[in-house]
Each structure stands twice: as C-alpha cells, then as structure tokens.
A and B are shown apart, each in its own frame.
Chain A
Amino acid sequence: MLFAAEAFDWNNLAQQALNGLTLGALFALIALGYTMVYGIVELINFAHGDLFMLGSFLALTIVGFFGLEDPNALASAATWKVILAIVLCFLAVPVFCAGLNLAVDRVVYKPLRNAPKLAPLVSAIGVSFIFMNAGLFWGGPQDVNFPDLIPNLAGTEAPNEPETPAADAAAPAPETKASAKSAALKNLLGDSPIRLTAKDLLILGVTIPLMIALTIFVKATPMGKAMRATAQNPTAARLMGINTDRVISTTFVVGGGLAGFGSVIYALSVNTVSYQMGFQNGLYAFTAAVLGGIGNIPGAVVGGIVIGLVRTLGSAYIGETWTSALIFTVLIIILVFRPSGLLGARTREKV
C-alpha cells in the first residue's frame, strides 16, 4: 500500500533489515537464558527479563561511579575513563547477573525441583516482582538516561574525519558538545544510504562471538556434553555419573551471564534504563525462545532475529502501533504450523 505509489526503496528495506538484525541479536541474547533453563529444568524463568533490567542498573551505577552520568561531564571526560567504564561494565555486569541467577536458583528453585511444575513457575513470577521492586528502589520510577558512551569513544577514534557535512551548517544545535556526537553517530559506510553506526557494530560484535562461544561450549566441552545429556534425560544422566546439580547451576550461571552482556549492550545502544524495561524485553525474548523452539539454542537466536525483523519491518511498512500485535500474530501462525517452534522439531536434544 505504502510503497505501491513510489518505486520500491531497496535501501530502506536493507536499512530496516539491519535495524531488525541488531535488535533481534539483543532479544536473542536474553532468549538464550530462557531457553537454556527450560531445556535443562523445564522451568520458564519469568524473572529472567528483570534480571536483565537489574544488570542495566548496575551498568548505570558503574558509569555513575566514574562520574560520567552528566552529559557535560561526559563531553570533557578522558577517553581512558570512558573505556575503563565500558570494560568494567562488561566484566562486572555479567558476573553480577550470573551470580544473582545462581543465587535465585539455589534459594528459590532448587528446593522446588521435585515439586509440581506450577510451584517453581509461580515462584519465578514472584522473583520477577521482587526484582522489579528492587529496580524501582534502585533507579526510581522514571526512565533514566544512560549516558551515550559509545559516540564519545568513536569520536576520539576517528579524529581525522571531517566533523560533519556541509548540510550540518543549518543544524539547530551546532554546539561544540554535539561535535563528538555527530562524528560518532556518523555512518561507518561513508556516503552509502545505509547507516551502520558504532552502536550497531557493538551489538553484533558482542553477540556473535558470544553465540559462537556458547555453541562451542555446548558442543565441544565435557560440561556441554553433560548439559546435553541432562536435557535429554536427567535420570539417565544421573545414572551415568553426571552431577546434574552442577549442570543446572552452570546453566543458570551461563544464562545469567548472557543476560548481563545483553543488559550492557542494551544500555549502551538504547540509552534508556527503567525498572519496567525487563517486562517488555523479557516478553519479546521469551516469545523469541518459543518461536525458535523452547529448549533449542540455535532456535532462540533464530527466534530473536525473526522478532527483531518483524518489529522493524512491521514498523516500516505497516505501522508502529501494530508491531506488538504483529509479533504475536507471527508467533501464533508459526506455532499453528510448527507447534514445537521453528527449530524445535528438527533437533531432538533440548540444548
């Protein structure tokens, strides 16, 4: 409808696909935590989205510790300080999320391991509330701006580039502060109509290696083998001498760690954190896990990317208000034809 009148704009499609890919990669990171835990203990860990939210708040606190919260302070901050803050975020937040996830498993889920399935599920919803209120206490009820650290870095990485094209002369805010920003939000593909920014690169540059590492971990290490065995049949795995408790703990640690990485790149690229963000993102990620086939690792990645693409392409060609409805319509359609998800039926193992 929208594009019938004009020539079809392939550049726009490519741009929106790129947007969808980066967004989908983010959802996939969170979805992995849902799907791994489900694969091993058949528990839908509803607290996972809120764990992701708490990770973002920790990142914000770390950045605040370096005094970079204020845009003015950030503009004059030394580059090493910004890099140090980012590195520290990438180290501390995944460890924090992994530890918290492990603690929740030990305290809440483990005693319920042999209870009816509904008991740990309801407990997970309870944990989600606790986390959300912790986030409310930590960050307050309003959306909080997460300082734009990446442009600052990219700006210093490419000091030789001409700041802005001539068109920028008419910019409403030709402030000096904005110059670092414009240099950084600059298109890395030069004059191409498709924009690839440092932020997009960051998302892909963190998620893709993580997913490769996870695949290697599950496919090639003894612990990964133990995980696959536990996923297939916990009783048999135990009989074979596998310490399933350790396997479950490892799963929670890895899932939490991935959520931690997700929260740092989310904060760095979306630049807003709020105590409610865990709900919406968790919901999308959970949908991604179901879409791909819950319990299936490549499935979660595929599901995340599908949802990212539906979100952006839906917004581009159908309408922004319809995107949520559209995502769930796609979910329903896929589940009608493939009840176990996109990749759920093809692979037998759950992890």
Chain B
Amino acid sequence: MPIRILPILFVLAFVAAGLLIPAPPTNTGSDRVKIVSSLPRSGSAKGQTDTIVDGIRLAIDEAGGEVTIKKTGKAYKIEYQDLDDATAAAGQWTAEQETNNANLARLDPDVMVYIGTYNSGAAKISMPILNRAHVLMVSPANTATGLTKPNEGERDEPKRYRPSGEVNYVRVVPTDDLQGRAGAEWAQFMGVNKVYILDDNEVYGKGVADLFEGHARKIGLEILGRESIDAKAQEFGALMTKIKRKDPDMIYFGGTTQTKAGQVAKDLVKVGMKNCKMMAPDGCYEEAMIKSAGADVLEGRFFVTFGGLTPDRLTATAGGKKFVEQYEKKFGKKPSEAYALYGYECARVAIEAIRQADSKDRDAVRRAGIALKDFPGITGVWSFDKNGDTTLQEMSGITVKNGKFEFAKNLEVKQK
C-alpha cells in the first residue's frame, strides 16, 4: 500500500513545504503565546481526536483565553492551533505530516507547548525535533513505554528521543506496561486459562502483546501460541482455523482498529469459535472498532483495557462530573470518547507550565512543565515522575454491550 499513496504524500509534502516558508517574522515580543496540537484529524481516529480538541478548547476557555506573567504583569493571549498529522488518503498519521507539524512548531517563536501525539509511532518522530528546540510536549494518548521509560523498550530508548539530554516530553495517560499486566490479570479473573496471542507487528501492538505475554506467563495462564499477522491481509480464515484446533479460551490481539482488529474478531466468529473471548488494548477502544467489526460480532465477546477512566465512569467522580457538565455546556453534547478528559488535562498542564515558568521562554516552560507536582487533576492529584509519566495509575476494563462500549471492571494495577 505505501507505494501507492506515495505520490499523494509527495503532493502533500510540497504543500506543507509551502507552509514552512517562514511567515513574516513574528517578533518575539508579540503579546501572544501559542499552543499547538498535532493529532490525526482525518482518518478513522477522527472521532477520538475531535473530543481531544474539544477538551483542549474547553481548558483554554476556562483560563480566560490568556495567561498573565506575574513578573512583568503582562497578559499574553493564548492562541491555539489544531494541526493534522494524518492524511485522508493514508487513513492514519504519516511520518511526513508529523515532521511538518513539529517543524512548524519549532520555527514559530510563539509556540510554547506542543500537545501530541496520538500515536506512539508519531511521537518518535516529533520528539527529537522538539527536544532540540526545547519545546514542551504533552501527550494525551501515547502509551508506548519506550518513549519515557528506560529499560522497557529498545536499548537506546528513551535517550534517542532526547538529543539535547533534557526531558521535554510528558504524558497524562498510563503506559502500556500497565495495560499488558492489567489485561492478563483481568483475563484470569474472567476464568480464562488458555490464551492465544496475536499482534500486528507494529511498535504499539507488538509491545503490548509482549507485556501481556510476560505477565500472563507469570500468573500462570497457559499460552497456546503467539503469532504476528500481516495487517495488509484482508482475511484471517486460515489463521483462525489453525487457532481453533488449539481451543483457546481467549485470543489477545495486540493491535488497533487500523491494523485489522475488526477482521480478526469477525473471522474468529466465522470459523466457529463460539466460546472464545477476544481482548485488545486501548488502540481498539473507539467507535470505529464497532463499526468495522459489527456490533453483533463483538457483543459480550470483546474486552478492551484502557489506561484511564471511561466517559460513563468519569461522572462517578466529583471532578469528572463537573468536567462533563462544563463540556456539555460548551459543546452541547457529552464527551463521546474518553480522550476528551486527556485533551483537557493536557491543555491545563500546558497553561500551568507557562504560568509557573513566569516568562515567555520555551526552556523555562519546559522546565516548569516536567517538574509539575501535586497537580489537581480531574480524577485526583498527580505528579510527573522523573521520566515524564503521570503517577496516576487508573485502568478500566471495557466490554461491548448492546452495540456500545461499556465499562465493565476497575482494573487494579500493582506497581512493580
């Protein structure tokens, strides 16, 4: 596939290159600070990123649209720019778009904070670019462990994302290592004994599947087999026939809606594995999953782990209830995707970092951002640890009921 979309990407790259030609130089003394976000705004993740962007706008509105630097008493207007790191043709984020967005932010002296990315793979591209430029990066959705945690991913991770040697990247969501562990424990709780593990051969999917496998072995689940799928394949009848012979209680799929999770579920039913459950990480926690697999296929069979609170569970906490009310007041609807909260939290972190830095200076904002402690979050008080990860470790177990995602279980995650 990549070969065919290449020409389209070239055209886009040229268009984007046109955008890169420096606009009339804005003097650094301008009276505004800029927050940009880089998220896949076209393609199948649009539903989720719509709510993230709404969350960001809500937080900026609440701050009155400006931030005052106490030192000089000067009020800076907050300007927000919503960048797309996906193309409609690709249907998901592309490396070219993400590079362009990061460069756009780097070259604009008003940009203080970069909210993004949605996909962990995209973060790997923009992190080094923004790190050199000392721009604070706050992610509402990246869960790959290697982005922040040493000894979890590849050998030179996360050093290679920090060419300047400083930390500039923080995230407000719990990471995959928790998801893999929580998933394995949840499976055992549901009475699953035998598991077959599949992954999509991508950074995120393979990573989560590895972590799931490791923990599943530790707690005594039987692993019947492990295989990668070719996400470009159109159907998995043969693979599912093979798996059926081993008679698993559950198939764990490390992957996303975009890497054929829906087709895996469909073929699981098609070959007649009636009693087999399917579990997947949060990459499949989106309406598009139900749309691509068909609600009848997933009903009662499909389980997702998600690093955070679901919209329906949000309202159970006092802060969450207030957030949902305010969101509804501003946008006339309840947040449909859980990521709304994380978009909102990201923007609050961004504004707070600028406020605490007390100057319109990128490096000061970065230092203030990574050092945030005891931050009054929506669902509890949390801090960033030395890697830039949130200390909040809430996980939700979600299933499909009546054609909709529904909260099923609070997943306890014990720290290692």
Contacts and interface: CB of A to CB of B under 8 A. Distances in A.
Contact of B44 (A142, A164, A182, A199): A142
B238 A20 contact: yes
A324 B229 CA distance: 11
A63 to B, nearest CB: 13
Nearest to B274: A171
B269 interface: yes
A187 B272 contact: yes
Nearest to A23: B237
A129 B272 CA distance: 37
Given A141-B43, A271-B294, A185 B288 contact: no
A274 B92 CA distance: 14
Contacts of A147: 294
A178 interface: yes
A312 B236 CA distance: 9
Interface stretch (B15-23, B58-66, B146-154, B239-247): B239-247
A132 B6 CA distance: 13
Given A23-B237, A72-B403, A145-B293, A9 B300 contact: no
A277 B4 CA distance: 13
B1 A279 contact: yes
A172 interface: yes
Given A132-B4, A145-B292, A320 B230 contact: yes
B43 A142 contact: yes
A323 interface: yes
Contacts of B90: 141
Contacts of B88: 136, 141
A93 to B, nearest CB: 18
B295 A71 contact: yes
A48 interface: no
Interface in B1-39: 1, 4, 7
B292 A173 contact: no
A311 B4 contact: no
Contacts of A181: 269, 296
A142 B301 contact: no
A321 B228 contact: yes
B258 to A, nearest CB: 8
B245 A12 contact: yes
A320 B227 contact: yes
B179 to A, nearest CB: 21
A316 B271 CA distance: 14
A191 interface: no
A19 B292 contact: no
B357 to A, nearest CB: 39
Interface string B223-237: 000011110111111
A164 to B, nearest CB: 7
Interface residues of B, number: 51
Interface extent on A, as a size class? 35 or more
A171 B230 CA distance: 29
A315 interface: yes
Contacts of B348: none
B239 A272 contact: no
A277 B230 contact: no
Contacts of B4: 128-129, 132, 279
A28 to B, nearest CB: 16
A280 B236 CA distance: 14
A164 B274 contact: yes
A177 interface: yes
B229 A142 contact: no
Contacts of A19: 237-238, 241
Given A144-B291, A199-B270, A321 B229 contact: yes
A319 interface: yes
A249 interface: no
A36 to B, nearest CB: 23
A170 interface: yes
Given A136-B88, A142-B91, A172-B301, A272 B266 contact: yes
Nearest to A181: B296
Interface string A127-155: 01100110010000111110110000000
B277 interface: yes
Given A168-B274, A271-B294, 4 more contacts: A12-B241, A23-B237, A143-B260, A177-B299
13 contacts: A12-B242, A19-B241, A136-B89, A142-B291, A142-B292, A145-B262, A182-B274, A195-B271, A272-B234, A280-B232, A315-B239, A315-B242, A319-B227
